[in-house]
A and B are shown apart, each in its own frame.
Chain A
Amino acid sequence: AQSVTQPDIHITVSEGASLELRCNYSYGATPYLFWYVQSPGQGLQLLLKYFSGDTLVQGIKGFEAEFKRSQSSFNLRKPSVHWSDAAEYFCAVGANTGTASKLTFGTGTRLQVTL
């Protein structure tokens, strides 16, 4: 069975500082990996995804993530955080089959940005 671990429940960074949110997954083959962002009371917005190819993936809002097979990780990064980035971030894994869209989510990391 697939699983996702987001070790950090809550992270606080200063505006303008760099950000890295950790995500580790468990899956028997090469997974499909996603990062979503959720603002309070809102749905999910896809930041980026990895299916295959280049292991460094660029997303929206200046985010990027790197797939590291040896570490079973897919950490999300941003070089300079903006106050509007404060939200909940979810990493998710989907099976590399026709059911890729059936996702298993991590527990989420709440990002707080201080001015």
Chain B
Amino acid sequence: GAVVSQHPSRVICKSGTSVKIECRSLDFQATTMFWYRQFPKQSLMLMATSNEGSKATYEQGVEKDKFLINHASLTLSTLTVTSAHPEDSSFYICSARGHWDTEAFFGQGTRLTVV
């Protein structure tokens, strides 16, 4: 149980375009989802926390208009990188937590490359 799936696992896009990354909880209802970003050979940094049906809470320094997060259902959250630039290239990982869970479960991550 507690499986979280991210899609796509890898994506290459042109500079200026937008990219959507999906995070799905396959066998539980995710009331809270978290989005992290990992630069090469660095740790994971929390970008935002989203609760189903409400606006995401962004960490300091994360551009809300750049990284759009939607958590419209209990099994799906999306991260849209708008007007992507090469500096947005990174590894993005989501995690999801059910209402009664004390821990969140991680997806496999998405490698974004902007060219």
Contact = CB atoms under 8 A, between A and B. Distances in A.
A113 interface: no
Contacts of A105: 43-45
Prevailing SS type, chain A contact patch:
loop
A107 B108 contact: no
Prevailing SS type, chain B contact patch:
strand
B18 to A, nearest CB: 23
B37 to A, nearest CB: 11
Given A43-B93, A101-B97, A108 B43 contact: yes
Contacts of A34: 103
Nearest to B96: A101
Contacts, number: 54
Contacts of A13: none
Interface in B41-89: 42-46, 49
B103 A49 contact: yes
A101 B95 contact: yes
Given A43-B93, A101-B97, A106 B43 contact: yes
Contacts of A104: 46
A35 interface: no
B102 A51 contact: yes
B104 A42 contact: no
A46 B107 CA distance: 11
A101 B28 CA distance: 15
Given A42-B108, A43-B109, A44-B93, A90 B44 contact: yes
25 contacts: A32-B102, A34-B103, A43-B93, A43-B106, A43-B107, A44-B93, A44-B106, A44-B109, A46-B103, A49-B103, A90-B44, A94-B103, A100-B102, A100-B103, A101-B95, A101-B97, A101-B103, A101-B104, A102-B46, A103-B46, A103-B104, A105-B44, A106-B43, A107-B43, A108-B43
